Structure 1
Amino acid sequence: MSAIFPTTLLSYLNILGIFLRLLGFFMLVPGFSHRTIPPMVKLLLALVVALALYPLLSARLEALPLESLSGIVALALRETILGFLMGFVAYLTFEAIHLAAQFIGFQMGFGAAGLVDPVNHSQVSVLVPLTGWVALMVFFLTDMHHNLLVLFVRSFEITHSIELENFSTVAVAKLLIQKTGELFIVAVKIAAPYTFLVLATNAAVGILSRLLPQMQMLLFVFPVTIFLGICGLYLLAPDLIDYFQGIMDQMGQDVIVLLRTI
C-alpha cells in the first residue's frame, strides 16, 4: 500500500479517519454537542484530539483499505457513521433525563409554565434546564468525558477493520430501538418518586375535600403540590445524582455493546 500512497499521505488519511469519527462523535455526545459551542470550536477540538490520538492509533490504522478513491470515500462514510452512532447512544442517556424532568414538571403543575429553550428552540418544562445542568455537572465531575474518550480509542480496536458492506444494519437498528425504548423506562424510574408524592398529595386533598366540603380545597392543590414537589427535589437530590452517575456508567457499557454489535 505504501507503493500506492506515500507514507505521509497515508498518515494524513489516517488522521482524517480519526478526525471524521471524532466529528461524528462530537455531533451528539453530551457536553460537546451543545449548540452554544461554535461549530469552528468543535472542528478545531476534533482536529486537535485527532492529532493527539494518532500516535496511539497509527499502528491499528495501517491496515485500512485505501487503495482507491472509492476506498477513501468509504473510509470517510464509515468513520462518520461510527462516530455518529456512538454519540447517539450517549445522547439517549441525557434525553432520558430531560424526559424525566418533563414528567416531573407536569406532575408538579408546571405543565402550563413552560420555558423556551434557546438552545433547542422548543418549549420545555421549567425543570428541564435545571436537571440538564445537574446531569452535565455529574457528567464532567465523574470524568465520564474522559471515559468516553477512552471508549473512543477502544472503538478502533473493535471496528477498525469493518467495511461498510459488512455493517450489521439489522442488529444495529434493533439495538438502537431497544435503547430508545429503555429511554422511557429510565425516565419513568427517575420520575416515579415524584409521581407517587403527587398522587399521595392529590389523594389527601381529595379526602379532605370530602371531610370538609365547605372548604375550597381546589385553591390549595396547586400551591401545595408545587411546594411538596420542590421539597421532594431537595430531599431526593443526592439519590438522584447517584442515579445519574449510574446511568452514565451504563452509557459507557451501551457504547461498547454497540461497537461489538457492528
Structure 2
Amino acid sequence: MQLSLPTGLLVAFLLASLRSAAWLLVVPAFSSRAIPPYVRALLSMALALPVAPGLAAHAPPAEVFPLLSSAIQQVVVGAALGFLTSLIFSAVQAAGDLIDLFGGFSLGFAYDPLSLSNNATFGRFYNLLASTLLMASGAHLMVIRGFTTTYRLLPLDGTLSLPALERVLTSGLGQFFVATLQIAGPLLVVLFLADVGLGLLSRVAPALNAFALGFPIKIFITLSLGGMALLLLPDAITRMADEAARAVMGVAGA
C-alpha cells in the first residue's frame, strides 16, 4: 500500500514549520536553552501541522527559487513576530534590572547560561518567575493562539506590511515602558525617598556617615518590599500575553 502526499500540502507544512521555528527561537520561555533543540523542532512542526491544509492553496510552486524566496520570507516573518512578543515580555526583566540598579544589587552581576547574558539578582529572578507564571497560568496558550492566527491573516504568499509593523512596534515600545514602570515603580519610589532621606540626614548629622549606611539600608528595603512587587506579576503576565497576541495579529493585518 502506497500513500501519496500532495506536493502543495508538503510544501505548505515545511514553510509553516520554518515560520514557527523562527518564532520559537525568539519568543520568551520557548527560546530558553533549557528546552532541547529537538523539542523545539517538534513543537514547531506540531504548530504547523493543523494549519498546513489551509495553506496548501497559498504554497509556492515546487521550484528552487520560489521555495528559497518563500523560505527566507517565512523565517523573517517568524523572527519579526517573535521579536515583537519578546519586546513586550522583556518589561519584566527590565523591571528587575531597575530594582537591581536602584537597590544596590547591580554590583552582583553574574553570567546567566540560560539567557547567555550577564544579569543581576532581581533581573534573573524576575525573568525566571515570568517564564514560570507564563506557563503555569496558561497565558502561553494566548500567545500561541495569536501566532497561529497569523497563518490565516498572513498566508505563505502574503507580504508583511511595514507600516503595520512600524505602528505595532511603536505601540509595543510604549507598552514595554509602561509595564516596566507598573511593576517596578512602587519599589523605585520607596528607594528614591530613602535616598532623599539619607541625603537630608547627611546634611543634618554629617558624623553619622549616612551614605555608608545607605547601602545596607537600601538592600534591606529592596528585600523587604520586593515581595510586594511580585504580587503585581501574575496580572502583568496575563495582560502582556494578551497584548502580545494582539500585537502579533496586528502586524499580520488583523
TM over 0.5: yes
Check the 8 A contact 2:88/2:172 in 1, yes or no: no
Instruction: Tell which deviates more after alignment, 75-84 or 10-19.
Output: 75-84
Shift in Å, 1:162? 4.2
Question: Counterpart of 1:116 in 2: which secondary structure?
Answer: strand
Could you tell me how far apart the structure 1 residues matched to 2:229 and 2:9 are? 52
Q: Does 1:206 align with 2:204?
A: no
Partners of 1:38 and 1:121 lie apart in 2 by 15
How big is each residue's C-alpha offset from its partner over 1:132-190, in whole Å with a ceiling of 9 and x where there is no partner? 11111221122122222222321121111644xx4433542453355245433432333
1:3 maps to which residue? none
CA distance in 2 between counterparts of 1:212 and 1:29 reads 52
Kindly, what percent of the aligned residue pairs are identical?
22
CA contact (8 A) 1:18 1:79 kept: yes
Aligned amino acid, residue 182 of structure 2: K
Matched residues, number: 251
Query: Which residue of structure 2 aligns with residue 160 of structure 1?
Result: 155
In 2: Cα distance, 1:236 partner to 1:88 partner: 26
Q: 1:102 aligns with which of 97, 103, 109?
A: 97
Matched with 2:112 is: 117
Alpha-carbon spacing, 1:106–1:250, altered in 2? closer, same or farther (3 Å): same
Displacement of 1:219 in angstroms is 2.7
Are the structure 2 counterparts of residues 21 and 97 from structure 1 closer, same or farther at C-alpha, using a change threshold of 3 Å?
same
User: Is 1:243 equivalent to 2:241 in the alignment?
Assistant: no
Q: C-alpha deviations, 1:103-157, integer Å up to 9, x for none? A: 1101001121211112333321111111011111221122122222222321121
Give the stretch that moved more between structures: 65-74 or 99-108. 65-74
TM-score, reference length from structure 2? 0.87
Gaps of at least 5 residues in structure 2 are none
In 2, Cα distance between equivalents of 1:238 and 1:189: 12
Note closer, same or farther for the CA distance 1:202–1:60 as it changes in structure 2 (3 Å cut): same
Q: Which 10-residue stretch deviates more, 186-195 or 220-229?
A: 186-195
Take 2:116 and 2:68, find their aligned partners in 1: how far apart are those partners?
Answer: 34
Partner of 1:231: 224
Give the counterpart letter for 2:138 in structure 1.
D
Contact 1:24 1:87 in 2 (8 A): yes
Structure 1: stretches of 5+ with no match in the other structure = 1-5
Look up the equivalent residue of 2:7 and give its one-letter code: L
Asked whether 1:45 is paired with 2:38, we answer no
- 2:29 pairs with 1:27: no
Name the CA distance, whole Å, in 2 between partners of 1:101 and 1:84.
25
Residue 70 in 1 paired to residue 77 in 2?
Answer: no
Which range moves more in the overlay, 59-68 or 187-196?
Answer: 59-68
Is the contact between residue 61 and residue 160 of structure 1 (CA under 8 Å) also seen in structure 2? no
User: What's the CA shift for 1:25?
Assistant: 1.2
Cα distance between partner residues in 2 of 1:171 and 1:260: 7
Contact 2:202 2:208 in 1 (8 A): yes
| 1:193-222 deviation digits (Å, cap 9, x = unpaired) | 121111111222223333333322223211
Q: Distance in 1 between matches of 2:222 and 2:64?
A: 60
Change (3 A) 1:171 1:30: same
Among candidates 118, 138, 141, match of residue 143 of structure 1: 138
Give the direction of change, closer, same or farther, for the CA distance of 1:181–1:152 in structure 2 (3 Å limit): closer
Code of the residue aligned with 1:50 in structure 2: it is A
Check whether the contact 2:168–2:247 (CA below 8 A) recurs between aligned residues.
no
Q: TM-score scaled by structure 1? A: 0.85
CA RMSD of aligned residues (A): 2.3
